[in-house]
Amino acid sequence: MAARPLVLKGGTLIDGTGRAPVLNSTIVIRDNRIEAVEQGGYAPAEAEILDVTGKTVLPGFVDGHGHLEDFHGELYLHFGITTCVTIEIFQDGPWDIAQREGTAMGKIRGPRILTSGRAVGGSRTETDSPGGRSVRGNIVVTTPAKTRAAMQRKKDDGYDVIKLNEFLPFDLVKVAVDEAHRLGMPVTCHSWDAMRSSEAGVDGIEHIWSVGYSSIPDLKRRHELAEQRLAGNIEQEIAGSYYEPENYNRVIDAMVKHGVAWTPTIAKWLRPLSPSAARFRQRESEILNDPNADLPPTVRAVTDNSYDKLLRRYTPAQLDRAKMFYEKANEFIRRFVDAGGILKEGSDPPRGMAALLMHQALVMDVEAGVSPMMAIQAATLNSAKTFKLDKDYGSIERGKVADLFVVEGDPLKDIWMTQNVKTLILDGKVVDREFRRYKNPIPSFYSYQTLPLDLDVTPLLITERANDTIITVKGKGIWPHHRVYLNGHPLATTFVSSKELTASISPELIATPGTYVVTVRSDGEPLAESHRAHIVVGFRG
C-alpha cells in the first residue's frame, strides 16, 4: 500500500530560490518528493496534515563545509541540516563512506552525506602545524598522469567530491579540475591564489584566508604569512589583519567571472567579536549543558577556547588586530555578494559546534551586509549547486526531494531564527530531531582535535606500590580534555599547559614490577590514542 501523502499547510514558505516568501503555503509530499507547492491550495483527501500556521518553512540546509565526526549526526538533525558535504577530514574516506551508507540505510542517525575523503594536492610545507593537513595526510600528486589517476581512483572508490589543497601547482590544479569534471565530480579547494584557482575552473574556494592571502600581490609576503600561520607562529585572527582590501576587487572579479562559490568560515574564529556573540554563547551553552546531547568534552573545550582566546588571553594589541581582521572579512563578504559572487556556507567545526556554526555563519553574513534571503540561499541552493546537487536538493520546488524544516519566527526579520527548528523532514519523512544520547555504531578512529603523538614521560623508573606517584607527560597539542592512561587504566590527570599533563598513579596500579605502557587519549573518544611511552616499575627494597 502506498504511503499517505504528507501536507504542510499554513506556513510561510521561503523556498531557497530567492523568490518572495509564499504566505499560507501548502506543500504536498508524496513518497519522498514534493508533488505540489501552492499558496492556499487543497490537500489530498487521504493526506496526513501538518499544520504549520504561524511558522516558517525552509529547505533543508546543505552544509557546504563539513568535517564529519561520529557525534555530529544528532547535531545536524537538531539544527535542520539535511545534507553534509564533508571535505578533507582526518579519515581517508572508508570511514566516511561507511557513515554515508549507514545513514542512507537508516542505521546511523544523521544527515545525508557526501564525502571527498582525503584532499589531493602538492607536498606540504615543512612548517605545517601539528594536527593540520600534514597529520591528516593529503594525497600527493606530482605529474599530470598521477593527478588524473588520483581523480579516477576517487571516482572508482565511490567518493562524491574532490578537495584540493593549497600546495598543488596550478598546472596540476587545471588537470585535476578537468579530469574531475569529466568524471562528473565537483571540485573545491584551499588556495593561496584565488584568481588562478578560479581560472583553473574550480567550483568552490574555502575560507576567508584563501581570498585574504590572494589580496596580497607581493608573493613573498603572501607566502611568508601563509607559512607562518601554518607553522602556528601567527594566529589566524592576527594573520587576517594583514589582508589588503584595496586589492579585493581583482580577487572578486576573477571569482565572479568564473562562477566560483566561496565559503567564508569566519564564525569558527571570529564569532566572539560578533554583535550576536551573547546569543551564540547562550545557544552553545544550552546544547553543551543538555545531558541528552552527551557531547564529548572536547566540544566544550574548543567552544570555550574560541571565546577565552580572544576575550581573555589576547593582549589589547592582539585584540585590535583581531578586530581589524573581522572588519576586513566583513568587507570582503559584502563586496563579494554585491558583485554577484556565489556565497555558500558551512560549519567548518573544528573550533566550535557542527551545525550550529552554520547558523552562526548566516548571522555574521547578515551583519556583514548580506540580505537574509541571500544568506538562506547560501545555506541551501548555492551549496547544492556548487556540489551538483540542485536537481534534487537545495530548494522547495515541485519534483525535488522533500528535505525541509520548520522554524518558529521569521528569518527574514531575524536570521538567527533559522536555528529555532521545530520540525524536520528528511527524504519525505518527519525525523526525530531531539537529542537521545545517541552513540554512533562506527566510532571515529582519529581524535577530533590534536592529540599528542610522541610522549616524554618522567620519571621513567618508579617502585612497586609507591604511594601517590606523580608522573609528568609532555607532548605537542595538549588540551584540557586529554587523559593519561597506564596499561589502559585512566589516571587522575591535571592539565598544565598545551605541552604538559601530570597524572597520579595509585599504589594498586603498580602492584607488581614490570614495564608499563603510558598513553594519552581524549575523554569521550574510545579509539584515538597517542603513541606508546613506557615507565619501568622496579622492586621495592
Asked if 77 and 405 touch (Cβ cutoff 8 Å), the reply is: no
Q: Which triple of cell numbers denotes residue 506?
A: 595509585
Task: Please give the pLDDT value at position 92.
Answer: 59
Tell me, what's the pLDDT at 130?
42
**CATH number reported for the structural domain that contains residue 461 in this entry:** 2.60.40.10
Task: Supply the pLDDT for residue 2.
Answer: 65
The answer to whether residue 109 is domain-embedded is yes
**What is the tens place of the pLDDT at every residue in 392-403?**
999 999 999 999
Q: Report the domain count for the chain.
A: 2
Q: What is the mean pLDDT of the segment spanning 147-155?
A: 97
Co-location of 69 and 188 in the same domain: yes
The overall longest dimension of the chain from CA atoms, in Å, is 90
Q: Is the pLDDT score of 231 beyond 90?
A: no
Residue 339 domain flag = yes
Partnered with residue 470 across adjacent β-strands are: 504
For residue 535 the three cell numbers come to 615507565
Tell whether 506 and 373 lie within a shared domain.
no
Nearest to 79 by CA among 440, 361, 381, 371: 361
Judge contact between 262 and 190, C-beta under 8 A: no
Nine-digit cell string for 472:
609528568
Domain finish residue from 346, 361, 388: 388
Q: Identify whether residues 84 and 202 lie together within a single domain.
A: yes
Residues 367 and 460 in one domain: no
Which three cell numbers mark 101?
551508507
Tell me what pLDDT residue 405 has. 98
**Per-residue pLDDT tens over the stretch 361-393:** 999 999 999 999 999 999 999 999 999 999 999
Query: Tell me: the pLDDT tens digits for 68-81?
Result: 999 999 999 999 99
491 shares a domain with 345: no
Record the cell numbers describing residue 5, joined without a space.
Answer: 501523502
Domain membership flag for residue 395: no
Q: Please tell me whether residues 97 and 210 are part of one structural domain.
A: yes
Question: Is 377 in the same domain as 484?
Answer: no
Residue 314 belongs to a domain with what CATH number? Answer: 3.20.20.140
pLDDT of residue 447: 85
Range in 37-46, 208-217, 424-433, 494-503 with the lowest mean pLDDT: 37-46
Angle, helices 297-308 vs 277-288, to 10°: value is 160
- Asked if 379 and 465 sit in the same domain, the reply is no
Structural domain of 513: 456-538
Contact 15, 395 (CB under 8 A): yes
Q: Is residue 111 located within the same domain as residue 255?
A: yes
pLDDT digits (tens, 9 = 90+) for 340-359: 999 999 999 988 999 999 99
- Mark whether 321 and 224 lie in a shared domain: yes
Query: How remote is the C-alpha of 503 from its chain's centroid?
Result: 33
Task: Tell me whether residue 37 is in a domain.
Answer: no
- Asked, for residue 359, whether it belongs to a domain, the answer is yes
Q: Are the C-beta atoms of residues 353 and 284 closer than 8 Å to each other? A: yes
Are 384 and 272 in a shared domain? Answer: yes
Residues 482-530 have pLDDT tens digits of 999 999 999 999 999 999 999 999 999 999 999 999 999 999 888 889 9
Same domain, 500 and 356: no
Structure confidence at residue 300 (pLDDT): 94
Q: Is 38 among the domain residues?
A: no
> Helix, strand, or coil here: 84?
strand
30 C-beta neighbours (distance < 10 Å), count: 18
Q: Is residue 322 over pLDDT 50?
A: yes
| pLDDT for residue 448 | 86
Last residue in a domain, options 388, 420, 438: 388
Q: Identify whether 23 is part of a domain.
A: no
Asked if the model's pLDDT at residue 440 lies above 80, the reply is: yes
Q: Could you tell me if residue 39 is inside a domain?
A: no
CA-closest candidate to residue 410, choices 361, 372, 360, 370: 372
The three cell numbers of residue 363 are 548571522
Among 358, 388, 418, give the residue marking a domain's end: 388
